Amino acid sequence: MIYNAPIKDMLFLVNEWIGLDRLSSLPGFEEVDADLLQAILEEAEKFCTTELLSINSDGDEHAATYSDGAVKTPPGFKQAYAHFIANGWTGIDSNPDHGGQGLPKLLQCLIDEMLSATNLSFKLYSELSHGAYHLLNDAASDDIRERYLPKMVEGVWSGTMCLTEPHCGTDLGLLTTSATPVDDGSYKISGSKIFITSGDHDLTENILHLVIARIDGAPEGTKGISLFLVPKILVNDDGSLGEANAVHTASIEHKMGIRASATCALNFDGAVGHLIGEENRGLAAMFKMMNVERLTVGIQGLGLAEIAYQNALNYALERYQSKAPSPRPDDSKPADPIIYQPDVKRQLLTIRSQVEGARALVVYAELHVDIMEKSTDESAIADAENTVALLTPVVKAFLTDLGLSSTLSAQQIYGGHGYIREHGMEQLVRDCRITQIYEGTNEVQALDLVSRKLTGETGEFANRFLRDWQSFLEGHASDEDLAGYIGPAASALHRLLQATGWIRDRIGAEDAAVRGAATQYLRLFALTIVACLWAQIIVGIRSKDGPFYEVKRKVALFYMQQVLPDTVSLLKTIVGGEDALAEFEVADFS
Ligand SMILES: Cc1cc2nc3c(=O)[nH]c(=O)nc-3n(C[C@H](O)[C@H](O)[C@H](O)COP(=O)(O)OP(=O)(O)OC[C@H]3O[C@@H](n4cnc5c(N)ncnc54)[C@H](O)[C@@H]3O)c2cc1C
């Protein structure tokens, strides 16, 4: 399997498209310049290709294992993790007060793409830690921050997110894990959590579980959920490790993919927990972590799509089958590389045009995460918060759907060889599948978009957001040389506005119709916004020559002509498909 990190595209998007000054003008990022970004990205690529890609298929083969109550990671993982933390990769965007490097989240997300591409299972051991760190940094007391966070940044302690229980997944209000107050101010946590990523492993000295539970007597449903820090090993006042806490690993799951990642069932048997934030406000705090995670899970899909594309492209250049349509590249040969088959080219470009557009969407969203966290301008912060809130479900669902469609399509390009394990393509498909499910299934993301993000303050912002894109496209409508890009994007935006009006007219009054259209609406939204980003990129490079820019224009044109037309049928299903769905009763299935 090969992987070359798309550093050129990443640097283009940051330096030329959004403009590096939008990052470096934020307080704390004054030192961030093009050379620094490039140097860090190149180091990350080196680490990912030499240390992580090389153990990815072995990790799949051997998987994480469980015996006598403890979990072992596959061969090579411990050594790679030791190098990972020694090189400082766990502290890129963490607070310098805790030993972090204080660099932009935008940079972290570009590194996340590489880590996801080369070894998603390995990445998961630090991913939830990263989310847990940021949650504790936002919501924990000074004492907890000082005692726990430097070790997390160093990477010697890791973190988890413990929400799911056997009977409670999407609907967290059903949870039964309990928290009983103790005189010393701590709580005894009791209950079972399942599917906990990195819930146990042998890479770090301690594991800090962030657990949601209901304090005795708290209200039913989501209004009575509190958040607790429950260390695997108790931490003494001086920060040293004490006794084992009453957290027990019952088993690990045997999974379709990400087999080297330990997905654990954990029992909390009266374990010591520390309340984080206010009583009964735990879900709000946890959602902050989940929102960061949702963007990161979207990036997992992007990384897997990219590596699948690179390998399929390589294979298509080398695999000789069938004669190409004339003019053939070489008439003397009995067959040509399959890349000369227009349909193979189409499949590759379908991936590439969406991957490059999706990367722009990530860069756009993560820039706003940095603005939200670093800017001192109140109105810029409010806009950035709304941008991130609006785009989070879109990034999570669209990019993970893209991950699966792309890994499947890339596997298809390998023909039968894609089905054979040694090429690694089937592992990419299996590893990618979970990204559509965890961190809130993609259907739940779509519901979030139509029910929460189109209403209230974010809903008003969404109007402005779409109108701003409309003005941008109208401003370039008369540019004849851009017509192939601006025209299709403007038509798609018109469809999105129509669908948005249709949804808005029904929110509250016709809940079933809105929910029934949510997934299609999210896809229409994503395809359209990516088209707007592509159009903006093309406007930005209109006077630039050279192969990189020429190819960008061709890729964008393919997106406009071959991918974006899906918005026509999506609109039709949204505005014309409600009756068939409504009239079919649940009883009709029998
Ligand atoms: C490998 C792996 C790792 C995981 N890691 C973690 C972790 O670290 N921490 C953690 O807490 N959890 C974790 N999970 C759990 C994961 O987040 C849940 O599986 C997921 O949120 C879905 O919950 P569920 O499995 O209970 O499905 P359910 O909630 O039972 O949903 C079943 C189906 O119904 C659909 N559905 C449910 N409600 C609605 C609705 N309102 N509208 C439309 N469709 C709906 C869902 O989309 C889904 O298709 C992990 C799971 C796996 C498999």
CA–centroid distance, 438 to ligand 1, in Å, is 6
- Which ligand 1 atom is nearest residue 197's CA? 8
Mean pLDDT along residues 500-527: 95
CA–centroid distance, 168 to ligand 1, in Å, is 8
Q: What is the pTM of this model?
A: 0.98
Question: Cα(268)–Cα(177) distance, rounded to whole angstroms?
Answer: 8
CA distances from 183 to 110, 141, 186, 196 (A): 46, 19, 7, 29
- The pLDDT assigned to 547 comes to 98
Question: Cα(459)–Cα(526) distance, rounded to whole angstroms?
Answer: 16
CA–centroid distance, 520 to ligand 1, in Å, is 20
The phi and psi torsions of 250 (rounded to 5 degrees) equal -85, -35
Rounded percentage of the chain residues whose pLDDT exceeds 90: 96
E-assigned strand segments in 167-259: 178-181, 187-197, 206-215, 226-231, 233-235, 241-244, 247-252
- b/e per residue, 2-19, with b = 16+ CB within 10 A? ebebbbebbbbbbbebbe
pLDDT at 275 over 90: yes
| Most ligand 1 atoms within 8 A of CB, residue of 433, 441, 519, 520 to mutate | 441
CA–centroid distance, 436 to ligand 1, in Å, is 10
- The pLDDT assigned to 197 comes to 98
CB 60 within 8 A of CB 182: no
Structure tokens at 208: 């800090």
pLDDT at 56 over 80: yes
- The pLDDT assigned to 311 comes to 98
- The pLDDT assigned to 291 comes to 81
pLDDT at 288 over 80: no
Residues with CB under 6 Å of ligand 1 are 128, 161-164, 169-170, 195-197, 255, 263, 434, 437-438, 440-441, 443-444, 447
For 208-219, the pLDDT digits (tens) are 999 999 999 999
- Which ligand 1 atom is nearest residue 160's CA? 8
| Most ligand 1 atoms within 8 A of CB, residue of 135, 438, 449, 514 to mutate | 438
For 449-508, the pLDDT digits (tens) are 999 999 988 899 999 999 999 999 999 999 999 999 999 999 999 999 999 999 999 998
- The pLDDT assigned to 290 comes to 82
Rounded percentage of the chain residues whose pLDDT exceeds 70: 100
Handedness of CA 519, 561, 497, 356 (dihedral sign): positive
As a whole number, the mean pLDDT across the chain is: 97
pLDDT at 509 over 90: no
- The pLDDT assigned to 491 comes to 98
Which single residue is written with the structure tokens 């005894």? 188
pLDDT range class, residue 578, cuts 50, 70, 90: confident
pLDDT range class, residue 226, cuts 50, 70, 90: very high
- The pLDDT assigned to 289 comes to 78
Nearest to 177 by CA among 168, 186, 166, 190: 190
Mean pLDDT along residues 129-144: 94
The phi and psi torsions of 498 (rounded to 5 degrees) equal -60, -45
- Which ligand 1 atom is nearest residue 255's CA? 1
Mean pLDDT along residues 380-386: 95
Q: Which residues pair with 158 in a beta bridge?
A: 207
Question: Cα(366)–Cα(539) distance, rounded to whole angstroms?
Answer: 22
- Which ligand 1 atom is nearest residue 161's CA? 9
pLDDT at 161 over 80: yes
E-assigned strand segments in 232-276: 233-235, 241-244, 247-252, 263-276
CB 574 within 8 A of CB 502: yes
CA–centroid distance, 170 to ligand 1, in Å, is 5
The protein residue with its alpha carbon nearest to ligand 1, atom 7, reads 196
As annotated, the active-site residues are 439
The phi and psi torsions of 95 (rounded to 5 degrees) equal -65, 130
The protein residue with its alpha carbon nearest to ligand 1, atom 41, reads 444
The phi and psi torsions of 182 (rounded to 5 degrees) equal -120, 155
The protein residue with its alpha carbon nearest to ligand 1, atom 21, reads 440
CA angle centred on 225, ends 219 and 228, rounded to 5°:
140
Strands 178-181 and 206-215: parallel
CA–centroid distance, 444 to ligand 1, in Å, is 9
Mean pLDDT along residues 108-115: 98
